[in-house]
Amino acid sequence: MRRLNASARRGVTLLMVLLLLSVMLLGGVALSRMTEIGVLASGNSAYREASLQASEVGVNTAYAAVKGLAAEEANAGNWYWASIQAADAAGLPNINWNNAPEVTVGAYSVRYIVERMCTQANVTETLRQCLVKQIPQSPESMVYGKEALDPPNSRQFRITVRVTGPKDTQTWVQSLVTKG
């Protein structure tokens, strides 16, 4: 067997060192890429949390408007409908969101609409034509020998909020509220 001379040994060593450096470089690039993805995921999570917090402002503003609504049977501006609107496959109303009222919360644009949960605007039978919340009566209020009265009911409204944030991200929130 022939031994390698000194210059040949240095060439093999140099080749091995270059190969190990290349492997370490690729490992470092992969590690930095994973760190970058983690930072992006954390940022997306922070945007989502901030948009959900901003949506609360929209829900509260819409609820205050519903409480102050005088005539529930008529549509009001670009934010209130007296009956359920047609919706897309995701259950979001098909309306022009650019006309809905806007509230600015930091870097987020919050728009909201309200629908009364009735099948038609002119309601004649609330219990049949609208979604209502019934309050159960206590057994003491029932009179022996007489038919019990229907429990009191309250009208239901659906608030839909669209939050547009940085990078044109959108968050949608729907909430049912009770009035009456």
pLDDT recorded at residue 141: 60
Residue 1 belongs to a domain: no
Write down the mean pLDDT value for the chain. 81
Per mean pLDDT, which range of 47-51, 150-154, 164-168, 171-175 is the poorest?
Answer: 150-154
Confidence of residue 117 (pLDDT cuts 50, 70, 90): confident
Has residue 70 been placed in a domain? Answer: yes
Encoded tokens for 41 = 């995921």
Instruction: Give the pLDDT mean for 71-96.
Output: 85
Counting the structural domains of the chain, the total is 1
Rg (CA), the chain: 32
Identify the band that residue 102 occupies on the pLDDT scale cut at 50, 70 and 90.
very high
Q: Print the domain residue range for 173.
A: 6-179
Q: How many Å separate Cα 94 from the centre of its chain? A: 17
Residue-wise pLDDT for 43-53, tens only, equals 777 788 888 89
In a domain, 59, yes or no: yes
Residue type at 114 in one-letter notation:
V
Do 109 and 58 form a contact (C-beta atoms < 8 A)? no
Question: Considering the domain boundaries, does residue 37 fall inside one?
Answer: yes
Q: Are the C-beta atoms of residues 115 and 81 closer than 8 Å to each other?
A: yes
Q: What is the pLDDT of residue 136?
A: 66
**DSSP state letters, 47-97:** HHHHHHHHHHHHHHHHHHHHHT-S-TTS-BTTTEESSPPPB-TTS-B-S-G
pLDDT at 9 over 70: no
Higher per-residue pLDDT: 161 or 11: 161
- Beta bridge partners, 171, equal 163
Sign of CA pseudo-dihedral 51, 54, 60, 65: negative
